[in-house]
C-alpha cells in the first residue's frame, strides 16, 4: 500500500526554541502580524519566566538579525564588569579552573553566586534596542504573554527539573539547588516545604515577576534608567555586591556587522569577539581544509571524530590564549606570554599550517589550571514570511541564585567566567564585556550571498561552538535534513579527552582509545549543547529542535498570517 502524500500546508514563517511555551507565544505573534524579531522578543521574555536558571531580565544576550534590504547586524548585549571592580579583586582567592573549562573556582564561590557575582545585565536593553529599529508590533504587546504566564504559573518540565537537581559540584561549581536556597524569594518560588527543588509537573507562580514585567511593558528602559534600576542596584549594594545605578545607566548595546566567512561555498555569519564567532569560523576553516569527501570518511567514524576533536581543540586553544574584549586590546598579548600582539586567527596561511599539523598526526593539548560548561543558556531562531531571519542566544551565564527582593527574577553570575588572575586576556577590568561562547549563527545562500538560508544557535557554554560546528557540517557536508542534523550524535573536545554521546558506536570508541585518546562516554543519548535551527535551502522552511530539551519547531502557513 502506498504511503499517504503530505497534505499539510508548507510553513511561510517558523520559530524554534528549547521550551514549548515560547514557541507557542512566538507563533501566535507571527499570526498576529508580528515580524520575526517581534516573535523572538515575545518568546525570549517568556523564556525568562519558564527557564529561570537559564535566562531572564538579569542576563545578557547576543542577537543576530538579517532583513531584506538591510545589512545583517549583531546586537551585543553581553554583560559588563561593574565600574568598581579591580583586576585583583579575587587574586588571593583563586582555587583553580572548572573541569569543563567554563569559569574559575574562587573560594566561597563569590564569583559565581550571590550579589558579588553580578555583571551589568544586557538582555532587556538588547531586545528593546533591536525592537526600536526593526520591530513591527507595539512593545507592550510583546511583553503581555510573559506577564500572563508569570501570573498564571507554569509547570516544571523535564529539563527544568534536571537543572534544578543537577550536580555542578563535580565541575567545581555550586549546585543549583544550593543557589535556589540563597534568598527567601528563591526558596519560596522554587523549593518545596522540605527544602528540595520543585519536581516535575509542579507549578511555579511568580506574581512579583508579573508586576516587574508590567513595569517593563510600560517602560523598556526601567531596568537601566527608571524605577527598577534603583530597586535592583540598591539591593545588590546593600547585600555586598558591586552593581550600582551608575553601572545600569551607562550600559549600552553595541550594534555591529557580523563576522562572515565561506564554508563549502555557503556564507556563515557569526558575532565578533567577545562573542563566540571566531571559534566557529576558525573551526569550520580547518574542517574544510582537512575533511576528505565521502566515501573516504564516514560520518562519526573514528577518523571523522579524530579530525573533529583536533579541530575543536585547536580553536579552543587559540580562544583560551587570545580571546577577550577587543575594547581592551592590550590584554591578549599577556595571555600569549610573549608580549607580542595576538595573531590573526583566520589568516589563511596560519590556518594552512594548523591544518597541516593536524593532518600529520600532531595532537593539541589544552592547558588548564588544576581543579573545564554551564549549559544554562537558551536560544530562539525565527524566520518570517518576508525573509527576516533572527538568531538570539541569551543567558544568565552561571546563574547567581540572587533574586533582588520582590522582583521575582534572578541576576546573572557572569563574574565567574572572568579570569581572577590579573594580566590575562580575560582578566577582570571595569566595564569589560564578558567573554562568551554564544554564537547565534546565520547561513547565507551560495548563489545569493544576501539571502539567509539558515538560523541556528545553542545553549551549552563551552559546548556551543562544538555543537554548532557539527550541525553546520551535518547540513553542508553530509546533506542532512534540519531535524536530522541537530539530532545526530555529537562529540565535544573541550579538554584533552574526547567526550562522546551515548549513541556513538562502541567500535568507534574502541578505535579512538586504541589510537591513544582518552574517551569519555556520556550517559545521555542527546548531549553537548542543545542546537536549534531553521533552514530554507530550497525556499522551504524546515526546523530542528534538539531532543535533549523540551521545545519544538512551529511553522505558520501563509493562510494563517495577516
For residues 241 and 116, the answer to whether their CB atoms sit within 8 Å is yes
For residues 57 and 409, the answer to whether their CB atoms sit within 8 Å is yes
Compute how many other C-beta atoms are within 10 angstroms of the C-beta atom of residue 433: 26
CA-closest candidate to residue 86, choices 329, 427, 330: 427
Distance CA 501, CA 224 (A): 42
Give the dihedral sign, CA 282/288/289/291: positive
Concatenated DSSP letters of 472-541: HHHHHTS---HHHHHHS--EE-SSSSEEE-TTS-HHHHHHHHHTT--EEE-S-SS-SS--EEEE-TTS--
Distance CA 536, CA 11 (A): 11
CA-closest candidate to residue 389, choices 269, 266, 487: 269
> Is residue 116 annotated as a catalytic residue, yes or no?
no
Cα dihedral value 90, 92, 98, 104, nearest 10:
20
Distance CA 100, CA 461 (A): 10
Helix axes 139-152, 20-31, angle to 10 degrees: 140
For residues 461 and 374, the answer to whether their CB atoms sit within 8 Å is yes
For residues 162 and 58, the answer to whether their CB atoms sit within 8 Å is no
Distance CA 6, CA 410 (A): 45
For residues 329 and 336, the answer to whether their CB atoms sit within 8 Å is no
Compute how many other C-beta atoms are within 10 angstroms of the C-beta atom of residue 15: 34
Residue 47 Rama label (left phi>0; alpha psi -120 to 50; beta): alpha
SS3 of 109, please? helix
Question: In the block, which residue shows the cell 556563515?
Answer: 268
Is the peptide bond between 295 and the residue preceding it cis, with omega within 30 degrees of 0?
yes
For residue 141, give the C-alpha cell. 504587546
Sequence-ordered strand ranges (E) for 93-182: 94-97, 104-106, 154-155
Which of 116, 244, 377, 378 is flagged as catalytic? 377
Question: In the block, which residue shows the cell 546593600?
Answer: 238
Q: Which residues are catalytic?
A: 377
Amino acid at each position: 500500500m502506498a504511503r499517504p502524500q503530505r497534505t499539510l500546508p508548507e510553513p511561510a514563517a517558523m520559530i524554534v526554541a528549547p521550551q514549548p511555551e515560547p514557541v507557542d507565544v512566538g507563533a501566535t505573534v507571527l499570526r498576529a502580524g508580528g515580524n520575526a524579531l517581534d516573535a523572538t522578543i515575545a518568546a525570549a521574555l517568556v523564556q525568562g519566566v519558564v527557564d529561570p536558571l537559564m535566562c531572564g531580565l538579569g542576563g545578557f544576550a547576543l542577537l543576530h538579525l538579517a532583513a531584506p534590504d538591510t545589512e545583517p547586524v549583531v546586537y551585543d548585549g553581553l554583560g559588563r564588569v561593574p565600574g568598581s571592580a579591580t583586576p585583583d579583586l579575587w587574586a588571593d582567592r583563586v582555587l583553580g579552573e572548572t573541569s569543563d573549562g567554563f569559569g574559575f573556582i574562587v573560594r566561597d564561590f563569590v564569583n559565581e553566586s550571590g550579589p558579588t557575582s553580578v555583571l551589568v545585565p544586557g538582555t532587556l536593553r538588547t531586545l528593546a534596542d533591536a525592537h526600536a529599529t526593526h520591530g513591527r508590533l507595539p512593545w507592550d504587546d510583546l511583553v503581555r504573554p510573559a506577564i500572563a504566564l508569570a501570573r498564571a504559573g507554569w509547570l516544571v518540565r523535564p529539563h527544568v527539573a534536571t537543572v534544578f537537581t543537577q550536580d555542578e559540584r563535580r565541575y567545581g561549581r555550586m549546585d543549583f539547588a544550593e543557589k535556589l536556597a540563597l534568598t527567601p524569594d528563591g526558596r519560596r518560588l522554587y523549593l518545596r516545604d522540605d527544602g528540595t527543588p520543585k519536581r516535575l509537573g509542579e507549578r511555579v507562580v511568580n506574581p512579583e515577576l508579573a508586576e516587574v514585567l508590567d513595569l517593563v511593558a510600560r517602560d523598556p528602559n526601567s531596568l537601566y534608567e527608571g524605577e527598577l534600576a534603583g530597586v535592583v542596584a540598591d539591593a545588590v549594594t546593600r547585600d555586598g555586591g558591586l552593581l550600582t545605578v551608575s553601572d545600569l545607566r551607562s550600559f549600552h548595546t553595541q550594534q555591529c556587522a557580523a563576522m562572515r566567512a565561506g564554508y563549502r561555498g555557503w556564507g556563515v555569519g557569526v558575532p565578533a569577539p567577545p562573542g563566540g564567532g571566531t571559534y566557529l569560523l576558525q573551526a569550520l576553516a580547518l574542517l574544510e581544509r582537512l575533511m576528505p569527501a565521502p566515501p573516504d570518511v564516514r560520518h562519526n567514524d573514528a577518523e571523522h571524530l579524530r579530525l573533529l576533536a583536533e579541530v575543536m581543540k585547536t580553536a579552543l586553544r587559540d580562544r583560551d590564549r587570545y580571546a577577550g574584549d577587543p575594547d581592551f586590546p592590550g590584554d591578549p598579548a599577556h595571555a600569549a606570554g610573549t608580549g607580542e600582539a595576538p595573531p590573526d586567527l583566520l589568516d589563511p596561511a596560519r590556518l594552512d599550517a594548523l591544518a597541516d599539523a593536524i593532518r600529520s598526526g600532531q595532537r593539541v593539548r589544552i592547558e588548564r589550571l588544576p581543579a573545564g560548561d554551564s549549559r544554562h543558556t537558551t536560544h530562539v531562531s525565527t524566520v518570517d514570511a518576508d525573509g527576516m531571519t533572527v538568531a538570539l542566544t541569551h543567558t544568565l551565564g552561571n546563574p547567581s541564585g540572587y533574586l533582588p527582593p520582590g522582583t521575582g527574577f534572578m541576576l546573572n553570575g557572569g563574574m565567574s567566567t572572568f579570569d581572577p588572575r590579573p594580566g590575562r586576556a580575560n582578566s577582570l577590568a571595569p566595564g569589560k564585556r564578558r567573554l562568551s561562547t554564544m554564537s547565534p549563527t546565520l547561513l547565507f545562500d551560495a548563489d545569493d550571498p544576501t539571502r539567509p538560508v539558515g538560523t541556528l544557535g545553542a545553549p551549552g557554554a563551552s559546548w556551543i561552538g562544538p555543537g554548532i560546528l557539527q550541525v553546520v557540517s551535518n547540513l553542508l557536508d553530509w546533506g542532512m535534513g534540519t531535524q536530522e542534523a541537530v539530532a545526530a550524535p555529537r562529540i565535544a573536545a573541550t579538554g584533552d579527552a574526547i567526550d562522546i554521546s551515548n549513541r556513538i558506536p562502541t567500535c568507534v570508541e574502541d578505535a579512538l582509545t586504541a589510537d591513544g585518546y582518552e574517551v569519555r562516554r556520556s550517559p545521555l543519548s542527546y548531549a553537548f549543547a542543545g542546537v536549534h535551527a531553521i533552514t530554507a535551502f530550497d525556499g522551504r522552511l524546515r526546523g530542528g529542535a534538539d531532543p535533549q530539551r523540551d521545545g519544538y519547531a512551529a511553522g505558520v502557513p501563509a493562510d494563517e498570517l495577516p
